[in-house]
Structure 1
């Protein structure tokens, strides 16, 4: 989720995320290679009947501005969302490099929940000066707000109300931290870490559960008032990187989960790098652990001596190690507290057992975690039946009584896969209103079948079951000695990536958020990027016969955006794919697919780069967050751009009127050319690829632009569609640690002030939740 730029903070080096580098050694044909083949042979998308044309494959610092032979798509349409919006009537927000949050004319935006805000009685207001007591941070809003879900309450605040639109609970992820802003003078230099600083950082990870309501000037509930959070609500809580969490499902009690903290392998501490979210039909949050592998110290040169070859193979495939924040490098003032920091060292102690050290601690991360937002006493659970990888999101398809539930998940790393979990239990409508929600989670999430997607060149696809028998059969068919021999089904669930490799799943370009279009039941996934830059392998001119059809170099005017001609080339702008289950059955093992939308710069080569015909009203780079409104049917697309369009605009969110799989048209394949982004010679190439017709500005439009140096991520509405919550992550992240004593040099002052505005007083930037409403009280996007 978070961008590829990282700071070296004095002696503390924050390493690049594994997602950006990729650890998949598979030679299986990748997705964009299939795009080439399919689009070279057949019409891939058709113009939809509704006139929606989609590409082949839409406070301070808050401002309003102004017929072919392809396989048929799933045959039976699902019910259309209530009163769907078919034309975007708001004025597109222009691209912006201002340090503000800009929404269209006719909308208002207010910051309601910032990093450090107190969520318990007696906790003082956040000074935002790095001087707050570390002991209070587990009762404050975490850092780097990310995926978010809304859970309705009745107006009295006494009970769950799925239609409650005046009062509810926000449950949101705090993906990681921007540590330089959390401490008075930035991160203290040295080979060891300061205990108080690390305590803050650990507490600022995880999840917030916080009550929101409309209120009057006195802070009392008022259905006609303005939104704010309730500091003293008994429903508020934080789940941090230190919170006790249960291991649930097939890995519970497994030897691979045994640690010094839990010698029986049934518990762990904390949830890490929570990125995208999902929600269950019984009212729980599904939060996803993404870039967890880099948090642990594991010097391979010494630790490998004490590991089996099998263990080493798995650790390398997941990229375990890196010591991202150096949490293991604390000497506690009280020896009894040392275990809080020793737990971040994932190495074998010679002569010890797994119950004596933390050799297995990384095995307890990489899961979907279920949390009951309505019950502060409910212990969160890691649902191990759903596989272990870099989970980006977990989205469920529309439930059908008597059929199993399906949850779709992306593995956010270059060359990794799209997954589906199908429950063993079939859906009962009574479970939607159960009060023991975690027990319902046990029923649907602890037993089922995990699948991985294989995309075929003809526009069909197969869900490959990730079972021990299927993996062993695939390994036997491959011949030779398998690179990894699985011991049992629990081993398959633990090392999901290795099992998917063996099955021959289709490598994708960083699958991030998934979303379900409730009007059609199609499943969408963002593919953020696969550009080649320093230390990272991406698309090249000689390997675009794979799943990425575009090769080009990102330009900034007449200048390459990288320091050399080989940087920022390949699939820099990303794209979105979509899938339709056969017969719209979520438990099906086959599907149809196409590519929905290509990111691009508006003035780039329309034949090889801007394949969706984007204009200045809707061009974008690196789609990441994705969500469909069940109220309006609109798709909301959020960007995490770390370079492609940052010379023109900050990150953004767009609204799109979506169609369905198979609704577009193809264009002819194009030979290699020197035309590239900005029509500047740079060797653009599109090998044997067809693209879809252009979108229009009435069906894809920029809705908002965020402040400097931020990512826009996380979006949800109240059930009536009249209030939207959007998260702004890490404004000012590019500020170096050395700049902390000199606030004027911060790259953003948002949301306290606007950098660059006349008379603006410098302030440490904060991640924040913004509430958006329409001034006429109407539905968002209408």
Structure 2
């Protein structure tokens, strides 16, 4: 072998890749424009904005279409939550690629960013803010062009024209919105369950939608599998309450004839029982803007009924007052009933709340004496305070059923009468003490046992709303006791908030941490616009053995009696609570109070007046009214709000005022229509209450608050409704003096003068968004995380009708005539036709 030792100056070829040689490249068409365009386009855009950008070169270089040029335009200035359209145009050379990108301003998600027309939802901003976007194109010859466009976004504002009052049998929403019926009474939720005939012949409501849809939460589901995904707005779980039933429509010809002594047919009673409780169902949207549907056979679908096994947790677990023939140790129970409002926990569980549970229980004459003779006189006082007196037959007479299986106690449990000579844990005298609680459900685990959270007290729980969660701070949970002259409560957990708990998979164990140990408080509203949270703690203040309280469990079981002893403020039916996610302020609807009089009016409940009704020939504002149908007391209700001292959930004092008073626009502005309502926003009997989610523009900066009504005073003028508001803040109004005059049907007149605190008149920041069908209640609301789909429940349409006289055909008639169809409670979903955030 010869070894080459000569000098090498690099004139050798070791590259065997097959790449082009220089002289091959020189032979290719290569224009000066191609070297300059990419470098100058950004500079030119900065100077010329959306003006034309071209490169240098002759016609031969530019190709048949001429130089590559682009322009960029937008649909114009707008406000938070609305859809903005960006349009790019390309001329000259045919582009190989085009794209929209954002150059400045709060980051947004650009939809269809790789096309000439892109959209985004305007973000929530506190003041006018400019967002800049770039549209760029590149051709196959490497030429490129781009153009910028700016969009000015304003602060959140209501973006719809108010819906008129209506007595029609349909759901009406503003122009530009659509309504779809999603989930109706009787709809099947399991394989093998047939479609609902809606003629009274259907059974198996343990696997069908219950009746009287109420409080509700949407939980995002992962795109695949059954894990939570709080960002998913196309696949999720709806958990919703079924508060009560419209009995007549559940049976072929209404309930069978029977007397108070019974017996009720077993199948009828079972159907009615199972139609109460809670549904958990999977819901899906076709794509990001298609139709919604529910999945009838999804794995997570579940009904929780009054017969579902329950577990007790917290201080009352195992207390003798919970012991029954079903649960001799007082640690378990069966079911939940009359579930009204709800709560949504940040660890992805659902709180359902037992409201008017007392009415379902039978208590025969003589029970008082039996309890007194067996050392249970305290129970007599408690049962009286919660409305279970002697001589009650119980709603729907379920206890009269003679079951086919004598060992079946599902019906006998509704008879709370103590049996002489029988131990307390051998009958169902204690069954009423198993109800009136907040119940936590894990919607992602259909095999889990719901837990009754006794630390939150026993009452007519309307809802349970958690306040803002701040790391290292103990969270608060706000509740109303829905009955005339009852109280507002909050529970402050012993555990400080840890954000890591929001993603734990042992969700009910997280509930144990935050909901089983803490302090329950009741509110006292002072005339000065200040208030105090009074602790319901055994041994403190009047809550002692000397005053009849025996333990902390006894205080919680008898939260009403404890509130009485502490001097809490008697309110005009406290219903839903809601917390403003931006400010932390708590709002509570006070639906109405026909027992309020001038003598009992106070600063927080300042009105007692006559509300006339028109169809019977009443003269508006006649006093006394010309019809005996007029409503007296605080007929139209109001919404109160508080701001915690120091803006912390741990505060024991607060400031308060009244956000808005319900009233007809034509009523006396000095003493009744104190909020200056007009035809676009007058309402009566506020009930449901909810703020938009902080995951979208409706819950940011100045969040949207939704108010739903359950009305008996204004139904001569309109069906029940839902309004949207952008409320101010506690203290934004001023002091007012209310002069009450109330004349009874017997012409007895009482008067009073009350000083109160009224928020700034809402004006155009409160508007009617929806009016429901005949004889309904609007109740229950939640949205997808992106705020583009709003779920609303329509409860008991046509509730005053009969089989022979159907007073509503909704929802069958929502899309047109449907004569002869029985009405059904149902969940609807509302979307904006342009895909924007609902309400803005």
Smaller-chain TM-score bracket: 0.7 to 0.9
How far apart are the structure 2 equivalents of 1:129 and 1:289? 29
Is the aligned partner of 1:596 residue 2:659? yes
Cα RMSD (Å) of the superposition?
Answer: 2.3
Alignment-derived partner of residue 209 in structure 1? 280
Contact 2:604 2:658 in 1 (8 A): no
Q: What pairs up with 1:152-163 in 2 under 5 angstroms?
A: 152-163=220-231
Q: 1:628 aligns with which of 691, 713, 717?
A: 691
Deviation larger for 94-103 or 343-352: 343-352
Q: State the Cα distance separating 1:131 from its structure 2 match.
A: 0.5
Closer/same/farther in 2, CA of residues 148 and 684 from structure 1, 3 Å limit: farther
Closer/same/farther in 2, CA of residues 550 and 565 from structure 1, 3 Å limit: farther
Closer/same/farther in 2, CA of residues 648 and 267 from structure 1, 3 Å limit: same
Alignment-derived partner of residue 784 in structure 2? 718
Is the aligned partner of 1:497 residue 2:554? no
Deviation larger for 556-565 or 598-607: 556-565
Q: State the Cα distance separating 1:549 from its structure 2 match.
A: 1.8
Q: State the Cα distance separating 1:685 from its structure 2 match.
A: 6.1
How far apart are the structure 2 equivalents of 1:652 and 1:686? 32
How far apart are the structure 2 equivalents of 1:123 and 1:503? 52
How far apart are the structure 1 equivalents of 2:602 and 2:170? 41
Closer/same/farther in 2, CA of residues 682 and 228 from structure 1, 3 Å limit: farther
Instruction: Determine helix, strand or coil for the equivalent of 1:325.
Output: helix
Larger radius of gyration: 2
Give per-residue Cα distances to partners, 1:272-308, cap 9 Å, x unaligned.
1000000111010011000001111112444443333
Alignment-derived partner of residue 414 in structure 2? 344
Q: 1:764 aligns with which of 822, 826, 830?
A: 822
How far apart are the structure 1 equivalents of 2:224 and 2:252? 41
Is the aligned partner of 1:555 residue 2:615? no
Give per-residue Cα distances to partners, 1:597-650, cap 9 Å, x unaligned.
1000011111111110000100000000000112311000000002x1101100
Is the aligned partner of 1:368 residue 2:438? yes
Contact 1:549 1:686 in 2 (8 A): no
Closer/same/farther in 2, CA of residues 560 and 731 from structure 1, 3 Å limit: farther
Deviation larger for 169-178 or 81-90: 81-90
Q: What pairs up with 1:269-348 in 2 under 5 angstroms?
A: 269-307=334-372, 308-320=376-388, 322=392, 323-337=394-408, 339-348=409-418
Alignment-derived partner of residue 648 in structure 1? 717
Alignment-derived partner of residue 522 in structure 1? 585
Q: 1:231 aligns with which of 264, 286, 296?
A: 296
Q: State the Cα distance separating 1:455 from its structure 2 match.
A: 1.1
Q: State the Cα distance separating 1:443 from its structure 2 match.
A: 0.8
Contact 1:545 1:687 in 2 (8 A): no
Is the aligned partner of 1:254 residue 2:319? yes
How far apart are the structure 2 equivalents of 1:403 and 1:673? 46
Contact 2:347 2:510 in 1 (8 A): yes
Closer/same/farther in 2, CA of residues 465 and 213 from structure 1, 3 Å limit: same
How far apart are the structure 2 equivalents of 1:601 and 1:686? 22
Alignment-derived partner of residue 613 in structure 1? 676
Contact 2:363 2:417 in 1 (8 A): yes
Give per-residue Cα distances to partners, 1:745-764, cap 9 Å, x unaligned.
11111111279x8x642111
How far apart are the structure 2 equivalents of 1:420 and 1:82? 30
Unaligned 5+ runs, structure 2: 1-122, 127-154
Alignment-derived partner of residue 751 in structure 1? 811
Instruction: Determine helix, strand or coil for the equivalent of 1:104.
Output: coil
Alignment-derived partner of residue 575 in structure 1? 638
Instruction: Determine helix, strand or coil for the equivalent of 1:493.
Output: helix
Contact 1:609 1:684 in 2 (8 A): no
Closer/same/farther in 2, CA of residues 671 and 454 from structure 1, 3 Å limit: closer
How far apart are the structure 2 equivalents of 1:368 and 1:691? 32
Contact 2:606 2:738 in 1 (8 A): no
Contact 1:395 1:409 in 2 (8 A): yes
Closer/same/farther in 2, CA of residues 310 and 696 from structure 1, 3 Å limit: closer
Unaligned 5+ runs, structure 1: 1-80, 216-221, 532-537
Q: State the Cα distance separating 1:208 from its structure 2 match.
A: 0.3
How far apart are the structure 2 equivalents of 1:226 and 1:237? 23
Q: State the Cα distance separating 1:430 from its structure 2 match.
A: 0.8
Q: State the Cα distance separating 1:493 from its structure 2 match.
A: 1.1
Alignment-derived partner of residue 216 in structure 2? 148
Is the aligned partner of 1:732 residue 2:798? yes
Alignment-derived partner of residue 657 in structure 1? 726
Alignment-derived partner of residue 157 in structure 2? 87
Q: State the Cα distance separating 1:664 from its structure 2 match.
A: 1.4
How far apart are the structure 1 equivalents of 2:484 and 2:760? 27
Give the number of aligned pairs. 666
Q: 1:704 aligns with which of 752, 765, 770?
A: 770
Alignment-derived partner of residue 8 in structure 1? none
Contact 1:210 1:237 in 2 (8 A): yes
Alignment-derived partner of residue 33 in structure 2? none
Contact 2:657 2:757 in 1 (8 A): no
Closer/same/farther in 2, CA of residues 601 and 684 from structure 1, 3 Å limit: farther
Q: 1:167 aligns with which of 223, 228, 235?
A: 235
Q: State the Cα distance separating 1:347 from its structure 2 match.
A: 1.5
Q: What pairs up with 1:73-152 in 2 under 5 angstroms?
A: 82-83=124-125, 86-132=156-202, 134=203, 136-152=204-220
Closer/same/farther in 2, CA of residues 545 and 693 from structure 1, 3 Å limit: closer
Q: State the Cα distance separating 1:391 from its structure 2 match.
A: 0.3
Is the aligned partner of 1:189 residue 2:257? yes
Instruction: Determine helix, strand or coil for the equivalent of 2:267.
Output: helix
How far apart are the structure 1 equivalents of 2:629 and 2:550? 43
How far apart are the structure 1 equivalents of 2:791 and 2:556? 34
Give per-residue Cα distances to partners, 1:416-443, cap 9 Å, x unaligned.
1111111111111110000000011111
Q: State the Cα distance separating 1:696 from its structure 2 match.
A: 4.8
How far apart are the structure 2 equivalents of 1:685 and 1:724? 44
